[in-house]
Amino acid sequence: MADITLKKIYVKVWRQNSAKEKGRFETYEVENISQGSSFLEMLDILNDKLIREGKDPIAFDHDCREGICGMCSLYINGRAHGPDRDITTCQLHMRKFNEGETITIEPWRAGAFPVIKDLIVDRTAFEKIQQAGGFVSVNTGGIPDGNAIPIGYDDAEEAMDAASCIGCGACVATCKNSSAMLFVAAKVSQLAKLPQGKVEAKRRARNMVTKMDELGFGGCTNTGACELECPKGISISHIARLNREYLVAKLAE
């Protein structure tokens, strides 16, 4: 079946020249968009038009365009990564939108993610949290033989689930408190469930949470919105684990 073509849609985008300058919304008309095209392709087409008209194209982040790098962002019609579950913006299709619709696109909003230009925000804060402890630094020896270190099925699965976090920041963007707890919980859990990571689990939780607070992210109030908007469906059960690791680490101090 041929894809339906949207004859005309309106795209209301946040435009901001630099971190210092004030931003504003601009609305553009986009014509003849196939519902089979991806959301980012629609933006490419719009940008092509803007360039032909001698205007400044809209700056937005993207890289792999297959849902694995975490680079694409965008708060579309009031939701991180737009109106669909378990996807990144690059996996969003125009069939989710209707003829004549006005689509509102905003950058991730959080004090810890300042706008660089238009829809691009600076997510270096996530790197800083990772650098505070999201790694294994104890000597774990050479590559072990297969199955030499037995790991239970459930533990392996949970660690792998947590490891699927791509660091996109949708959790922060969605959270009413701009909390980075889901991201930090994923990064703590992917290691805490495995023997190589257990050694430093407590120190890791403490240092990463301290860094998270320092960078100005808000606190978690367990609304659960992050889990539903996370493209990888990371569970907030990992947040319970992070709380546990952190509280135990603090009690042991």
Partner 1 sequence: MSKGSFLSASIGRKFLMSITGLFLVTFIIVHLTLNLFLIFDDSGDLFNLAAHFMATNPLIKIMEPVLAIGFGVHILWSIIITVQNMRARPVGYNKTSQSVNSTWASRNMFILGGLIFVFLGIHLYAFWWKMKFAGDPLLTHTTVMQGGVPVEMENAYNLVATMFKQSLFYSITHILGGVLLGLHITHGFWSAFQTIGLNNHLWRKRLFVLANIIGWIFAIGFSIIPLYFMIKF
Query: Which x/- pattern, by CB under 6 A, does the window 171-210 give for ligand HEM?
Result: ----------------------------------------
Q: Over the Cα atoms of the chain, what is R_g?
A: 20
- Minimum distance of ligand FES from residue 23's CB (angstroms): 23
Task: Single out the residue of 98, 221, 233, 247 in contact with ligand HEM (rule: CB under 6 A).
Answer: 221
Rounded to the nearest whole angstrom, what is the least distance from the CB of residue 243 to ligand HEM in the complex? Answer: 9
Distance CA 23, CA 52 (A): 23
Choose which of 33, 110, 170, 194 interacts with ligand SF4 (CB under 6 A): 170
Enumerate residues 51-90 that contact ligand FES by CB under 6 A.
62-65, 67-72, 88-90
Candidates 167, 175, 164, 180; CA nearest to 63 is 167
In the numeric block, the tokens 């004090």 are attached to 111
CA distance 189 to 163: 8
Q: Which among 179, 158, 183 has a CA at the least distance from the CA of 168? A: 183
Does 219 interact with partner 1 (rule: CB under 8 A)? Answer: yes
167 alpha carbon, distance to own chain's centre: 5
CB within 8 Å of 171: residues ≥ 6 apart: 80, 179, 180, 181, 182, 183, 226, 229, 230, 234
DSSP calls for 68-94: SS-----EETTEET-SSSS--GGG-BG
| Residue placing its CB nearer to ligand HEM in the complex, 160 or 240 | 240
Q: How far is the CB of 229 from ligand SF4 (least distance, A)?
A: 7
Given the complex with partner 1, which of 195 and 216 has the nearer CB atom?
216
What number of chain residues touch ligand FES (CB under 6 A)? 13
Interface ranges with partner 1 (CB under 8 A) = 14, 25, 75, 77-79, 104, 106, 109-112, 174, 176-179, 209-210, 212-213, 216-225, 228-229, 235-237, 239-247, 250-251, 253
Interface ranges with ligand SF4 (CB under 6 A) = 165-171, 182-183, 186, 230-232, 234
